[in-house]
Amino acid sequence: MANLKRDIKQIKEIINNLKKEGKSIGFVPTMGYLHQGHVSLLQCSKKDNDITVLSIFVNPTQFGKGEDFDKYPRDLGRDLEIATKAGVDIVFAPDEAQMYPPDFATYTVQERLTEGLCGKFRPGHFRGVLTVVNKLFNIVKPDRAYFGEKDYQQLIVIKQMVKDLNMDVDIVGCPIVREEDGLAMSSRNKYLSEEERQSALSLSKALFLAKQMFESGETNPEKIKQKMKELILQHPHVKEVQYIEIVHPQTLEPKDKVEKGDRVLLAVYVGDTRLIDNIEL
Ligand code: PAF
């Protein structure tokens, strides 16, 4: 059974002792409701490190007003089983009062990379993500931390924080894990009805179409984005295409002419569920 710790002081002590023994620490921060995408991060961590720590914390500061903080799926028992099977050494699942005591006042804010894409539609989201990841890094002191490319902007923003703040942790990005039919794995897929799930396939279908168009010689981003949008809007349960962008993979700046290595990202509401996905060209 993975060793469950809920107390910050206690886990810091355990980590400090492991470090004294010279053990390397791999860290997979999550909000729980684990799926195969998380398991793939855990596998990467296990391969590279002596000890793998998984955190489970539904972080209130990264949810905006009216977003799904209250209904975000939570099932610690199920997560512990998956973590144990995946060979996790330590599960850190703090409660909110420990992470954000009443006198909490310090946040981590990043400019530029957080302004577009999801940052534009979820004001304060990356401030919450960076604050909690910064705190978790200070608690777990990992040598390496693993993030999925599904949240591509998050991955780039976290890499920039680590660089800007001279943090001693290697950020490792891991490929998106998809269901057999193409749907990117996400804890939020649980919200989808069977019919909505069919419409949710429009995200990956549109991304594969973009890749196919680029590989057939199309370099005009507007033409690619238009075709993607048309494809998505053919699906009955799509409520809104929030954005489709083709950006430089590091600067996240929109491209005038598409090149190999650029990233296509999108956010789409299927029913009331906001889904994101992306692909490398
Ligand atoms: O990607 C997530 O699940 C979250 O944004 C993270 C990185 C665990 C921070 O709460």
**Per-residue pLDDT tens digits for 233-275:** 999 999 999 999 999 999 999 999 999 999 999 999 999 999 9
> Given pLDDT bands bounded at 50, 70 and 90, which one contains residue 1?
confident
Beta strands in 182-272 (DSSP E): 238-247, 263-270
Q: Pick left, alpha or beta for residue 173 (phi over 0 → left; psi -120 to 50 → alpha; otherwise beta).
A: beta
Non-local CB neighbours of 52 within 8 Å, separated by 6+ positions: 25, 26, 27, 28, 42, 45, 46, 87, 88, 89, 90
Under DSSP, is residue 195 helix (H, G, I), strand (E, B) or coil? helix
The domains of the chain are located at 3-174, 187-280
Q: Which CATH superfamily is domain 187-280 in?
A: Pantoate-beta-alanine ligase, C-terminal domain (3.30.1300.10)
Q: Residue 9: is its pLDDT beyond 90? A: yes
Mean pLDDT of 87-91: 98
Given this model, what pLDDT does residue 2 score?
Answer: 87
What is the rounded distance in angstroms from the CA atom of residue 162 to the CA atom of residue 63? 22
Q: Which residues are catalytic?
A: 38
pTM metric for this prediction:
0.98
Task: Write out the two tokens for 30.
Answer: 């999550």
3.40.50.620, 3.40.50.2300, 3.30.460.80, 3.40.50.2030: CATH of 3-174 = 3.40.50.620
Choice from 42, 59, 127, 276 to test ligand 1 binding pocket (greatest atom count within 8 A of CB): 59
Buried residues in 166-196 as b, exposed as e (16+ CB within 10 A): ebebebbbbebbeeeeebbbbbbbebbeeeb
**Per-residue pLDDT tens digits for 180-212:** 999 999 999 999 999 999 999 999 999 999 999
What is the rounded distance in angstroms from the CA atom of residue 220 to the CA atom of residue 210? 11
Q: How far is the CA of 236 from the centre of ligand 1 (A)?
A: 30
Q: How far is the CA of 240 from the centre of ligand 1 (A)?
A: 24
Mean pLDDT of 39-50: 98
Given this model, what pLDDT does residue 203 score?
Answer: 98
